[in-house]
Amino acid sequence: EAGVTQFPSHSVIEKGQTVTLRCDPISGHDNLYWYRRVMGKEIKFLLHFVKESKQDESGMPNNRFLAERTGGTYSTLKVQPAELEDSGVYFCASSHLLGGGDQAQYFGPGTRLTVL
Amino acid sequence: AQTVTQSQPEMSVQEAETVTLSCTYDTSESNYYLFWYKQPPSRQMILVIRQEAYKQQNATENRFSVNFQKAAKSFSLKISDSQLGDTAMYFCAVRRGNAGNMLTFGGGTRLMVKP
């Protein structure tokens, strides 16, 4: 079974530009999450999809961030326009929708975003 | 709100020895789950071990075990017979009961296993 994949692995952009990150969850996982780790701090939750619907987007920092999951498969996270403080590692995770409460989230390798 | 604190930013251990990583958390939930994740230098974060809060028995996965002290809200990770491949960032996390809820992470502990 293929794991969670993310693209690109690295992105370097200038302030004011737009960047789109992509996440492909594990096949059959309806839950999809975005997290980010900024400047060596804690990994912070951004939002949660159940299939194509946004279940919880309480962690999205501002309206420069737009996440989509059309068709309930892969997801994109767009940052427009990017600011210096957006630099960090963006992680995607997925899990089954049903099952026991002890289900774990499976993480992708992350996208390292650097805004200059 | 939930919080997780990992008080040891960095640790080191000699190969084959035992090391314990600390984690304390705070939550108002009665039903929650605790996790330890490991992120090796290659960056893929993987689940090490999980614990259900209502279970008193400490979880064990091969060389990894936890010391879960519910009253003290402590969830430490013990790695026995440390191996070079255990070198990684270790993150402690808590999640409310429902499987679909978000994880709240601690700041991480960087563990170096020395030959």
CB contact under 8 A, B99 and A101: yes
Q: What is the per-residue pLDDT for B101?
A: 83
Kindly state the average pLDDT of the residues A61-84: 94
**Gap from A82 CA to chain B (nearest CA, Å):** 24
Question: Which tens digits make up the pLDDT trace of A90-103?
Answer: 999 999 876 665 57
How far apart are the C-alpha atoms of A3 and A26, rounded to whole Å? Answer: 5
**Which of the two residues, A2 and B108, has the higher pLDDT score?**
B108
In chain B, the residue whose alpha carbon lies closest to the alpha carbon of A112 is B43
Q: What is the per-residue pLDDT for B100?
A: 72
Q: Are A86 and A113 in contact (CB under 8 A)?
A: yes
How far apart are the C-alpha atoms of A79 and A38, rounded to whole Å? Answer: 15
Q: What is the per-residue pLDDT for A25?
A: 95
Q: What is the per-residue pLDDT for A99?
A: 62
Q: Which of B31, B91, B98 is opposite residue A43, by nearest beta carbon? A: B91
- Pairs across A and B, CB distance < 8 A: 65
Q: What is the per-residue pLDDT for B34?
A: 94
Kindly state the average pLDDT of the residues A10-15: 96
CB contact under 8 A, A110 and B45: yes
For residue A71, which phi and psi values (nearest 5 degrees)?
Answer: 80, 0
Give me the residue label for tokens 């010391």. Answer: B67
Stretches where chain B sits below pLDDT 70 are: 99
How far apart are the C-alpha atoms of A48 and A94, rounded to whole Å? Answer: 9
Q: What is the per-residue pLDDT for B48?
A: 96
How far apart are the C-alpha atoms of A92 and A98, rounded to whole Å? Answer: 19
pLDDT at A68 over 90: yes
